[in-house]
């Protein structure tokens, strides 16, 4: 089966081709092409994504990417594509509608089956993907052995803990009550007058400071870890953002310049501490076999490091499977894969597919 994936939920325009073959015993997953146009430079001066600007860029980029992928892969939509999978939520509705309407037009014109896919499902299942242009064989027995699992989905718009009994059987057990973790990275970076998106630059400065800690003359600020000890699986990051703001406002200009790496370090430590503590509470309470992560913040190396350290320290017999770094951020290949699995239970009428800002699974 050759699946065309389309992703326009936020500020990444992406079209991908994924080949999936299923036998009685195995899945064969082959990402053939993943084209993506980032809008970071457009939104940087605003310190965040502007929905109407994002939708305009998707409108310009989608036809260009579609033509490019058809020409590069030498395929015919009419002859070769078996399924169209498009993100239809959650996300920014103006952005989602561009991808949804583009995909519906293809489904109508070429008479192809289409399915609206949850962006969250794509992130959750991204751990199954091999690096681009590599193939992966997954035995059904191995796949079944991974469940039940806990998924931490963490990005600029989402921070969720999901209990998964099996593929397509998901139960959200915890989520953020205010800001998402990635949003907190972005907003605190803006307070520090750093570039957008905030996660990568804070991580870079944090790593720089981590090397300097033994010889550092600066006192590391102690920021709160909101809700870290509460007996639930929910998150809150607005208080951390406020603490950073108040601390920063008290500093003089020369102090800010000197303390920026230390503050970035403590921001990353605070966010990842909360994510890890809540995640392992869920792992222990639900007695799962596997932990997977997905979303843009899943590419944070400190988060991955802390997870691995906790597994080793607590001597947990659990699989930890992060996605390839290129599939942590928004992409069309993960949408194509989620569409493949969701197609087992439904194929939709293109007329009924719409965009939903708050769609879950």
pLDDT by residue (tens digit) across 290-344? 999 999 999 999 999 999 999 999 999 999 999 999 999 999 999 999 999 999 8
pLDDT of res. 170: 97
Q: What angle do CA 90, 94, 100 make, to 5 degrees?
A: 70
Domains and CATH numbers, the chain: 2-132+326-352 (3.30.420.40), 149-322 (3.30.420.40)
Given a cut of 90, is residue 346 above it in pLDDT? no
Mean pLDDT of the 134-151 span: 95
- CA 99 – CA 222 distance, rounded (Å): 43
Which residue has better confidence, 231 or 46? 231
Cα–Cα distance list, 242 to 58, 188, 191, 247 (Å): 33, 9, 10, 9
Q: What is the pLDDT of residues 171-188, one digit of tens each?
A: 999 999 999 999 999 999
Q: What's the pLDDT band for 46 if we cut at 50, 70, 90?
A: confident
> For residue 180, which phi and psi values (nearest 5 degrees)?
-80, 165
| Amino acid 217: pLDDT | 67
Provide the pLDDT confidence category of residue 220 given band limits of 50, 70 and 90: confident
Are 3 and 18 in contact by the 8 Å Cβ rule? The answer is yes
- Average pLDDT for 221-246: 95
Give residue 348's pLDDT. 82
**Is the distance from CB of 150 to CB of 288 less than 8 angstroms?**
yes
* Residue 101, pLDDT score: 98
- Measured CA to CA, the distance from residue 74 to residue 278 in angstroms comes to 47
Mean residue pLDDT of the chain comes to 95
Sheet of 114-118, strands arranged across? 114-118, 83-89, 2-7, 12-22, 26-38, 136-139
- pLDDT bucket at 45, cuts 50 / 70 / 90: confident
pLDDT at 218 over 70: no
Longest CA–CA span in the chain (Å) reads 67
Q: How confident is the model at residue 214 (pLDDT cuts 50, 70, 90)?
A: low
pLDDT of residue 289 exceeding 80 = yes
Rounded mean pLDDT, 206-215: 82
Percent of the chain with pLDDT over 90: 90
Alpha helices (H) in 76-165, listed in sequence order: 77-80, 93-110, 119-125, 140-145
Task: Please state the rounded mean pLDDT for residues 255-274.
Answer: 94
| Strand boundaries in the chain, DSSP class E | 2-7, 12-22, 26-38, 83-89, 114-118, 136-139, 149-154, 159-166, 169-175, 290-294, 319-321
- 63-78 confidence digits (pLDDT tens): 999 999 999 999 999 9
pLDDT at 216 over 90: no
């Amino acid at each position: 089966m050759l699946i065309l994936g389309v992703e326009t939920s936020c500020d990444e325009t992406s079209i991908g081709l994924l080949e999936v073959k299923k036998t009685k015993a195995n899945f064969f997953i082959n990402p053939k092409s993943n084209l993506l146009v980032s809008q970071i430079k457009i939104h940087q001066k605003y310190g965040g994504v502007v929905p109407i600007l994002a939708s305009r860029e998707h409108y310009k980029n989608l036809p260009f990417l579609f033509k490019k992928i058809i020409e590069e892969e030498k395929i015919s939509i009419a002859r070769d594509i078996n399924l169209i999978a498009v993100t239809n939520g959650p996300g920014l509705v103006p952005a989602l509608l561009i991808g949804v309407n583009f995909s519906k037009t293809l489904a109508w014109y070429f008479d192809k089956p289409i399915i609206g896919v949850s962006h969250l499902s794509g992130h959750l299942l991204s751990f199954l993907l091999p690096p681009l242009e590599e193939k992966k064989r997954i035995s059904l027995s191995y796949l079944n052995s991974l469940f039940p699992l806990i998924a931490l989905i963490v990005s600029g718009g989402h921070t969720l803990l999901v209990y998964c009994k099996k593929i397509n059987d998901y139960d959200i057990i915890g989520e953020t009550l205010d800001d998402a973790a990635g949003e907190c990275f972005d907003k605190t970076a803006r307070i520090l007058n750093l570039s957008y998106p905030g996660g990568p630059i804070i991580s870079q400065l944090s790593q720089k400071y981590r090397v300097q800690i033994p010889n550092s003359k600066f006192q590391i600020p102690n920021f709160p870890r909101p809700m870290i000890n509460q007996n639930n699986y929910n998150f809150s990051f607005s208080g951390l953002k406020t603490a950073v703001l108040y601390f920063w406002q008290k500093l003089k200009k020369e102090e800010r310049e000197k303390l920026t790496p230390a503050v970035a370090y403590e921001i990353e430590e605070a966010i990842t501490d909360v994510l890890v503590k809540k995640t392992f509470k869920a792992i222990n309470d639900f007695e799962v076999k596997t932990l997977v992560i997905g979303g843009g913040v899943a590419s944070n190396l400190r988060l991955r490091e802390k997870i691995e350290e906790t597994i080793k320290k607590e001597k947990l017999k659990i699989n930890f499977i992060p996605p390839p770094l290129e599939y942590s951020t928004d992409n069309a290949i993960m949408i194509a894969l989620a569409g493949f699995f969701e197609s087992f239970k439904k194929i939709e009428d293109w007329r009924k597919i719409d965009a939903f800002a708050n769609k879950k699974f």
